[in-house]
A and B are shown apart, each in its own frame.
Chain A
Amino acid sequence: MDATALPVPRPVAAHAESPLPARRLSDGGGDRVFAGITRTAAWGVFLLLIGIAGSMFWGGRQAFQTFGLHFLISDAWDVGRDQYGALIPIFGTLASSAIAMLIAVPTSFGIAVFLAEVAPRWVRSPIAIAVELLAAVPSIVYGMWGLFFFAPVMSARVEPWLIAHVGPLPILGPLFQGAPIGIGMLTAGIILAIMIIPFISSVMRDVFQAIPPALRESAFALGATPWEVVRRVTLPHTRSAVVGAVFLGLGRALGETMAVTFVIGNSFNFSKSLLAPGNSIASAIANEFAEAEGLHRSALIAIGFLLFVVTFIVLAIAKLMLARLSRTEGRAA
């Protein structure tokens, strides 16, 4: 076709082939309905959270009214005499989570660094997938494995060793006293750690991968060793998000039920020793709720409410920290 051929305007015969089609025009009604439906669903999510918080508070009100603030620091738990206090479950939750974090955070960080800097390319994907699969294993399986396989090992080898070698020491000593029965706070904490390691390391890995490659590459170009790149480029850039990942893991650990219930021992006796059985909020509820009545039930829901509040705060902090990374991304450029 000749590229400079000029279009010849034919006589303006508007749409000679047929008259304008009869069209069904819409008035926006369908749009309003659909938008309304989606908005309702979105608000539903919001209401769900409020509903959970509200129903926990409502169910626990009898316990709160009966015991008042003393509830938080009382270590009583006597079904016969209807005396309840949240201290032991709270302590159990916090202690097991603390043990878990002590073990899990460095390990997760190590895995994230390994995947980012050490592993040859062909090994990265399989290991990363393996770690993520570990995160998918149902928690009850961790609990069972813990009860039948890990606890016996703790009882037979680890705990006797700890009692013999760490028991006599000052400061740490009192934490490792008592009979090596295998189940208890320490075991629960370790299993919790194993559960949340894959979770935290996945989030950390995501965070590390979100760094603009140019930053890392220029550090390498200046002659930095891989570890120095991590310490001086990766970490400072992702500091908030790494903290966020840790808090996210903590949030999961605090609320974990099944992995802990099997091995924590379900005892309401307060003991300083980590080797002694204890109780966490989630495991207390799991064990006792079905048969509980009246004030007992209210007390269980009340500690559930406390768990909710603590978890909410921890997760909110985690989200805020993780959100910081995407914001600094924009500013750094």
Chain B
Amino acid sequence: MQLRIPNRLEDVFLALDRAEGTLDRADVDSSCRADVRLVLEELLVNTVRHGYPDGRDGSIEITLRIEADVVHLELRDDAMPFDPLQHEPPDLPGDIARRDIGGLGLHLARSIASDFHYARDAHGNRVVIRFDPSDEPAT
């Protein structure tokens, strides 16, 4: 699946549904499907909300490739430079009701992905993520 969307929240959610449909048709299991949806939501919502502070129109490209059981996701955008890996993990007090914690979404995205790479080139930000159900940590 390859998809280019404008930097608007409603388009993000249309893209999430498209991605989920693609994974469903490829028989990706429901737990991995939910992981991909969560990482996509956290990263795309973050880009749309914070990536274009000047309010300009932007574009985000989403590529999803499924190989055996492994899902490869690539996101490219023309937002301002942002490396999700450079964000400090939040301090987790064991009860998020006690105070407002920033960076939860990015922390979730990084924790759930098996592999997470960031690069910036002439086109903008590029994030490459791998989801491997066999990497699932024992709980």
Q: Do these two chains interact?
A: no
